[in-house]
């Protein structure tokens, strides 16, 4: 399987000619969802869910799997091709097996309500947690790590990597991370996380 990093929290996974895209939100490229056979959306926040981009992909033939808050915006216009999922569900998308883990977005502030957030374990090996530090409870070869967010601090991110114990870590959720800060985050994760750490630029690909 090939992983192509897109901007922010979006990745493109390609295997056996099929294309699966996760979280093509407003911080990602305009064409982030183009050509996708399947799209997974972790939650409703606009940096992960851009309705216009998903509607264009659905019109081109893609299918979407997402929590109810996202699926409700799309399902009426595209019956049978928008699927509501929650923690514990399993399904096949673009020929890849997918497990759903988690229920809620990480706490941004106690005064703000928490929205539904799910993580996706794809092909038994690649885990995208969305905006939560969800531990899937099974071995993970590649952890797509939300490296920087308003709801996190680096110590929590490091401890999350240690708890999941993946074979490798690839940064996502990094659009707000400045060039000045990147080497600091990279050094901490490399030195303390306990797993090989990569921070590919948008457009870079990784063979998994």
Q: Pick from 66, 42, 47, 63: which is nearest to 8 by CA? A: 47
160 inside domain: yes
Parent domain of 29: 2-200
Q: Which two tokens stand for residue 18?
A: 């099929």
Whether residue 52 is contained in a domain is answered as: yes
Number of domains in the chain: 1
Over residues 137-172, the pLDDT tens digits come to 999 999 999 999 999 999 999 999 999 999 999 999
Q: Give mean pLDDT, residues 45-57.
A: 97
**Close Cβ partners of 187 (under 8 Å, ≥ 6 residues apart):** none
106-129 pLDDT tens trace: 999 999 999 999 999 999 999 999
206 in a structural domain: no
In a domain, 208, yes or no: no
Q: What is the CATH number of the domain that holds 72?
A: 3.60.15.10
Residues 6+ apart with CB under 8 A from 208: 1, 2, 3, 125, 126, 141, 142
């Amino acid at each position: 399987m090939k992983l192509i990093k897109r901007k922010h929290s979006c990745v493109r996974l390609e295997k056996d000619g099929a294309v699966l895209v996760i979280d093509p939100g407003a911080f990602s490229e305009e064409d982030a969802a183009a050509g996708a056979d399947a799209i997974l959306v972790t939650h409703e926040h606009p940096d992960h869910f851009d309705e216009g981009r998903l509607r264009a992909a659905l019109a081109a033939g893609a299918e979407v799997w997402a929590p109810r808050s996202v699926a409700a915006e799309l399902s009426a216009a595209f019956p049978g091709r928008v699927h509501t999922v929650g923690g514990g569900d399993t399904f096949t998308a673009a020929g890849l097996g997918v497990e759903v883990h988690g229920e809620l977005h990480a706490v941004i502030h106690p005064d703000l309500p928490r929205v539904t957030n799910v993580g996706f374990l794809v092909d038994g090996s690649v885990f995208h947690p969305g905006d939560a530090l969800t531990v899937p409870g099974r071995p993970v070869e590649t952890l797509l790590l939300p490296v920087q967010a308003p709801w996190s601090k680096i110590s929590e991110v490091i401890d999350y990597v240690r708890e999941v114990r993946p074979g490798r870590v690839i940064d996502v959720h990094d659009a707000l991370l400045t060039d000045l800060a990147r080497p600091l985050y990279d050094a901490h994760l490399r030195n303390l996380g306990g797993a090989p750490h990569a921070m590919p630029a948008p457009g870079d690909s990784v063979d998994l």
